[in-house]
Amino acid sequence: MTKPRAPTPPFSRSRRAFIQRAAFGAAALPLAASAGGALGQAHRGLSEARSAAAGQDSERGSGAADEPRLVTLQINGQLHTLSVDPRATLLDALRDDIGLTGTKKGCGHGQCGACTVQVDGHPFLACLTFAVMLDGRRITTIEGLAGPGGELHPMQQAFIDHDAFQCGYCTPGQIMSAIACVEEGHAGTPEEIREYMSGNLCRCAAYPNIVAAITQAKLAMQAR
């Protein structure tokens, strides 16, 4: 059971605006888990990475292991063709090669959920996923959630409505996981939400507000 946190001090208008831009701004930024969520993503990413590595090793000699590979990623509806180190993670490709810095690097080891994105509609930990594994796959980051007119996704709006963040660093990953939580049918009760979201850590302890935001967004998403 998550303990209620102390009341959040009110943000100044400028601080709130800064955090909202950082966590939700479509231009500045792009963004699930538990035993079935983050841990599940970690296992999914590792499993696919091992399979891809095994397949690649059988297809080429060991001398080609370090050669850059061409990969085409479909990110937020746009195609990006990159030359990447075969060991480059999706997280590094997003942030360093494409400039989508909304997806955050927390632990880099599959432990915190800050790097959560969606691949073909499923949550993945970008820090555990090799970019070369995703040729032709459909990737959605936090920058890809807003509508064409800039309207926020119901989950983004719900996080704002419920002050479900303080520093905002974990928020992109929280939102991507939260969307999967609803879409995969794990938002029936607060306990179910906490279980699914348990792989997304928040050092600011905004957990009660995050659960409230997901509960609100679930209704809006179902009404869409």
Binding site for ligand FES (CB under 6 A): 105-108, 110-115, 125, 127, 165-171, 202-204, 206
Nearer to ligand FES, 45 or 154 (CB): 45
Q: How far is the CB of 95 from ligand FES (least distance, A)?
A: 11
Nearest 5 degrees, angle CA 123-CA 183-CA 36? 50
Read off the tokens for 70: 């061409």
Read off the tokens for 215: 């509960």
Q: How far is the CB of 158 from ligand FES (least distance, A)?
A: 15
Number of alpha helices (DSSP H) and beta strands (DSSP E) in the chain: 7, 5
Other CB atoms within 10 Å distance of the CB of residue 176? 33
Note whether 181 and 61 are within 8 A (CB): no
Q: How far apart are CA 150 and CA 146, in angstroms?
A: 5
Q: How far is the CB of 126 from ligand FES (least distance, A)?
A: 6
Instruction: Tell me the three state secondary structure of residue 191.
Output: helix
Q: How far is the CB of 59 from ligand FES (least distance, A)?
A: 28
Nearer to ligand FES, 64 or 107 (CB): 107
Q: How far apart are CA 139 and CA 93, in angstroms?
A: 12
Q: How far is the CB of 171 from ligand FES (least distance, A)?
A: 6
Q: How far apart are CA 149 and CA 159, in angstroms?
A: 19
Nearer to ligand FES, 123 or 168 (CB): 168
Nearer to ligand FES, 56 or 111 (CB): 111
Helix H or strand E encompassing 183: helix 171-183
Nearer to ligand FES, 70 or 107 (CB): 107
Of the candidates 126, 132, 135, 142, the residue with the CA atom closest to the CA atom of residue 179:
142
Nearer to ligand FES, 7 or 77 (CB): 7
